Structure 1
């Protein structure tokens, strides 16, 4: 999905009270807009994320502007810099937004939506259609959000579910069906590079590892008998298929470089330690048109958070910073906002009653 406009923050929203009986016509425009958008490869450019942002905006219009099927067009036409900025404040305060990149994504979606209703529905907005007013809006957003101390460090978006599955399929193809002799040790061996890259990528797809954590792995970190990997002072069991693929890799690796326990786990076809970031993630370029693995790792970190692994342990295991893990937690929380509020309430109530403090109080 194409996103335009100025750099702001985004935070996923939840099941918004965009009341069906009052806003059917507006929501129909949301649906028609989303049908024109191409599903993105990344979490923040996915249809699901776009819809969440639109629902947040809808909620703001209901709460602030008494939105209904009778006045929605007039309200959209009348949105000015102050009202757009106020919608950002509403988003921050009601959804505990901590990252400026989340707000950026929010306004990119809103901008694209307003361009759509102008071009296809004839509903124009003077702020969106004016470069000067957009610049004024950007300054106003900065001024109004300054006191919230949002984290401004640029954040990479996690990949989407579909891209994860596509990447997994491609990695298995490179591992199980190499296109040429893996044992060619002279010159550049594309098949070997893809083979090793696919195994490394699958490790990231399993444990969410940062590249420095992978480079630190040595031969003895793999226990082939019990199928475990030692990583950042943790011992984790490997999935069956990945474990089998790594065992096969080790046979080839050891035939080229020997089995010194302290030798680098991942090597080039010439037996040297693999140090090139680009080569380590060569397979990503076929799916993502990029060799940047952080987006893959962040998808995995989101899944780890969903299972209840504490952020501190995720930070230690993966090697990523607390800020990166916190951004993933923010995205997960946005997803959770969409689940049934009663279910969340029951879970929270149950967990609170299980605390030792409960009986003491």
Structure 2
């Protein structure tokens, strides 16, 4: 009962923070129910005191043992399911540390680089290898060359957009013309490349969230400056969309005035610009988001802020962190190799 109440508070907190939607709640609840089973079998928790003591004393090995319990009791064969379980546990442990005043030093290990042997990510990787779980195909990220081509294609679409091209009075089916859809989608692509936001965050951005006097945008309660060029392009969009009757206060709208929820054209721009072959438009937007998130991590923006801003969870953030850690390791190796080869005694040896 005590654990269930704490679980309910956690799920409600995640939902209110925009980190969890209705579809994900049963998935999270199932993972936490398994964790409760594990604690009950291992520690026999039956009172608030024994539960809190168990949670305070959690170690990396204990959490990973609960993952093994999940894998074996539910006949899990895929590594991604195991990682999702751990993702839920990370968020839950952070929550009880911050909101339930159940402090645990385990949280500190979450922040270590993945190549650090005491880090949670490092130990998790080793444990998954040991369990011989099947690795699925991970959605990758675009590279800088892709980024440049994407921006060039988006700017071309935006530059060519005009009221004359978009509003064609002789055509009764004007709302279906691609000019407006691609114009809107090109702006969304650039916003994703800038901020890393998940596509479902786009329809939450309202007219009042963009301040053209200060060139700022508010996303998930964070107010950040827009690049000047992108701000000017948003201004052009605002002027053009004023021709469209709309009852909604969201910034990005369809030709018929409804909220813009179409990610098909957003994904199609990636396919045109870089030859993307993925059949999933959702995968295309995730690849663009990951590129932005990787750059944020490189600049030292912390994980919590990135998750709050973008709407992504541990699985995406962990992927991006692993990319950064790998690049840093390669950079350190190149640095060391260059310095060693420059030592006067190198050639003599």
User: TM-score of the superposition, structure 1-length normalised?
Assistant: 0.52
The aligned residue for residue 279 of structure 1 is: 265
The aligned residue for residue 10 of structure 1 is: none
- Structure-2 separation of matches of 1:316 and 1:143: 29
> Paired residue for 2:208, among 216, 220, 223?
220
What SS is found at the alignment partner of 1:293? helix
> Paired residue for 2:150, among 159, 167, 173?
167
The aligned residue for residue 299 of structure 2 is: 307
Residues 317/271 of structure 1: CA separation in 2 closer, same or farther (3 Å cut)? same
- Structure-2 separation of matches of 1:342 and 1:96: 24
Deviations 1:280-339 (A, max 9, x none): 443223132443210011011000000000011101111111221111001100000012
> Paired residue for 1:270, among 237, 248, 256?
256
Deviations 1:40-89 (A, max 9, x none): xxxxxxxxxxxxxxxxxxxxxxxxxxxxxxxxxxxxxxxxxxxxxxxxxx
- The alpha carbon displacement at 1:223 in A equals 1.0
- Structure-2 separation of matches of 1:177 and 1:251: 15
The aligned residue for residue 190 of structure 2 is: 202
Shift >3 Å, 4+ stretches: 91-99, 150-154, 279-282, 340-344
The aligned residue for residue 86 of structure 2 is: none
Q: Is the 8 A contact 1:218 1:265 kept in 2?
A: yes
Q: Is the 8 A contact 1:312 1:322 kept in 2?
A: no
Name stretches of at least 5 consecutive residues in structure 1 with no aligned partner: 1-90, 104-141, 345-361
Deviations 1:202-245 (A, max 9, x none): 00010001011112112111111111111001001100000000
What SS is found at the alignment partner of 1:331? helix
The aligned residue for residue 177 of structure 1 is: 160
Residues 186/144 of structure 1: CA separation in 2 closer, same or farther (3 Å cut)? closer
- Structure-1 separation of matches of 2:237 and 2:127: 55
Q: Is the 8 A contact 1:197 1:282 kept in 2?
A: no
> Paired residue for 1:326, among 315, 318, 321?
318
Task: Tell me whether 1:191 sits opposite 2:179 in the alignment.
Answer: yes
Residues matched between the structures, number:
210
When the two chains are superposed, the root-mean-square deviation of aligned CA atoms in Å is 3.4
The aligned residue for residue 332 of structure 2 is: 340
Question: What does residue range 1-361 of structure 1 map to in structure 2 within 5 Å?
Answer: 98=121, 145-147=129-131, 154-178=137-161, 181-184=165-168, 186-257=174-245, 263-287=249-273, 288-290=276-278, 291=281, 292-340=284-332
What SS is found at the alignment partner of 2:174? coil
- The alpha carbon displacement at 1:273 in A equals 1.6
User: TM-score of the superposition, structure 2-length normalised?
Assistant: 0.53
- Structure-2 separation of matches of 1:209 and 1:151: 29
Residues 263/147 of structure 1: CA separation in 2 closer, same or farther (3 Å cut)? same
- The alpha carbon displacement at 1:187 in A equals 3.9
